[in-house]
Structure 1
C-alpha cells in the first residue's frame, strides 16, 4: 500500500511539474562529476533533483542571477550522495533538510568550544558552509561555484554529509545510521585508523594524504572523506583503501569507476 501511494504521489508530481530537460542538460554540462554517470543513474538523479527543488526552500542573495540550471546543479550534487539508495531511503535521510541558504561569500560565526581540560574557548571562525540539526544548510556562493569537479573539494557534499551524520543524533559525530550489512565496530575501527594516521602525519609535520581539516573532529573526518570519496576517489582509494571500500558499501556507489571512465573519455 505504501509503495502504491509513493508511486501515485510521484506520478502526480510529474504531471504537475514537467521536467526541464534543457536546463538539466545545462546543469550536467557544468558538472564534471556527473559526466560518467550511466543513463539510468542520470535519470534517477534528475528526478530526485527536480523533486528536491520543489520540496526544499532555496534562499539566495537578493538580486543574484542564479538561474534554474544553477539551482539544478547545486541540488544535483546534494542528490549525488543518495544516488545508490532507493527512493524512500533517499527522501528520508534528507527529511530534516528544510532550507538551503546561499550567502554571497564566506561568513563569520562565533564559536564556543570546551577543550579536554574542561576550559571553554570562544572565538570567531570564518566558514564557507554550516549545518544545523533542524536548521538550514548554509553555503558560500563562491564555494558553491568552485564545487562540481574532481578536485577533492565540494562544499555541498561536505555540508550535506553532516546532515547524513545527524540523522541519528542531535550533533554530527562521524557515525551516521548504518545499513544492516555494515557493523558499527567496523565503521569505528576504520575511521579511527584514518584519524590516527592523520594525527601522526601532523605530529611529524608532514602533509596529510587528504585535507587536514579531517583531523579537527570526527564529524569533519567523515565529511572530508565523503568529499574525497565523490570528488577525489583516486586519492582516497590510494591513501585509505579500506575506508574507500567501506564508503563504497555505505553509499552503494563506486565514484572511482566513474572517475576512471571520465579520464578515458
Structure 2
C-alpha cells in the first residue's frame, strides 16, 4: 500500500512539474560527467535531479548570492552530480540513501575548522584544517563555491561526490567509517577485506615516502578513503581500475554502474551537441 502511494505521488509530481528539458540539456553541456551518460541514463538522472531540487534545499551564502548567478541549469548540474551516485539504484533505494540529506549550503570560499587529533603516542594535536566541504549525519552538505566550480569533469576531483559519499557512509552510523549500508549481494567481509588492502597499500606508500596511487587524503581516515575512492570511481575510473582493480570491481557492484565505459576519448570533454 505504501509503495503504491509513493509511486502515485511520484507520478503526480512528474505530471505537475515536468522536467525542464532545456535547462537539463544546458546542465549536461556544462558538466562532462553528465554529458558522458547515454540517453537513457541521462533522462533517468534528469528526472531524479529535478525531484531532488524540489525535495532538498539549495542555499547560497548571502555574500555569494549577491554576486554570483546560480541559475536553474547550475542547480540541476549540482543535483545531477549528487544523484549520480545513486543512479544505478532503484528510486526507493535512492530516497532511502539520501534521507539524511536536507540542505546543500554553498560558501564563497574554502573554510577552516579547528581539529583535535590524538597521535599513536597519546599526544593531542590541534590545528586549523582548510576544507572544501563537510557534512554530518543530519547536517547540511557544505561545499566551497570555487571547488564546486572545479568539479564535474574527469580530473579525479569532485567535492559533491566526495561529500555525498559521506552521506551514504552515514546511512548506518553517526560518523563516517568507510562502511556504508551494503546491498545483500555484497558480503561485509569482502568489503572489509578489499578496503583494508587499499588502506594498507596507502599507508605503505606514506611510510616509504612515495607518492600514493590516489589522493593521499584517502590515507587519513577510513571514511575519507571511501569518499576519495568514490570520487575516483566516477571521475578517474581508469586510474582506479589500474591501481586497485578489486576495489574498482567492488564499487561497480555497489553502485551498479560501469563508469569506465563513460570515460571520454583522450582530449574529448564529452560534451553533447549544444543548441
TM class by shorter chain equals over 0.9
Tell me, in whole angstroms, the C-alpha distance in 1 between the residues paired with 2:121 and 2:89.
42
Runs of 4+ in 1 over 6 A off after TM superposition: 261-265
> Residues 175 and 153 of structure 1: is their aligned pair in 2 closer, same or farther, counting only changes over 3 Å?
same
Partner SS for 1:96: coil
Give the C-alpha shift of residue 260 in structure 1.
Answer: 5.2
Tell me, in whole angstroms, the C-alpha distance in 1 between the residues paired with 2:103 and 2:46.
20
Aligned length: 265
1:1-265 aligned within 5 A: 1-62=1-62, 63=66, 64-259=68-263
Q: Give TM-score scaled by structure 1 length.
A: 0.96
Larger RCO (CA under 8 A, 6+ residues apart) = 2
Q: Which ranges in structure 1 are unaligned for 5 or more consecutive residues? A: none
Partner SS for 1:75: helix
Partner SS for 1:28: helix
Tell me, in whole angstroms, the C-alpha distance in 1 between the residues paired with 2:123 and 2:209.
27
Tell me, in whole angstroms, the C-alpha distance in 2 between the residues paired with 1:3 and 1:98.
22
Tell me, in whole angstroms, the C-alpha distance in 2 between the residues paired with 1:114 and 1:15.
54
Partner SS for 1:126: strand
Give the C-alpha shift of residue 262 in structure 1.
Answer: 8.3
Contact 1:36 1:261 in 2 (8 A): no
> Residues 65 and 152 of structure 1: is their aligned pair in 2 closer, same or farther, counting only changes over 3 Å?
same
Q: Deviations over 1:148-172 (max 9, x none)?
A: 0000000000000000001000000
Partner SS for 1:222: helix
Q: Which ranges in structure 2 are unaligned for 5 or more consecutive residues? A: 271-275
Q: Deviations over 1:34-72 (max 9, x none)?
A: 223122211110111001101111110231311111010
Partner SS for 1:256: helix
Alignment correspondent of 2:273: none
Q: Give TM-score scaled by structure 2 length.
A: 0.93
Tell me, in whole angstroms, the C-alpha distance in 1 between the residues paired with 2:97 and 2:265.
29
Give the C-alpha shift of residue 211 in structure 1.
Answer: 0.5
Aligned residues: CA RMSD: 1.5
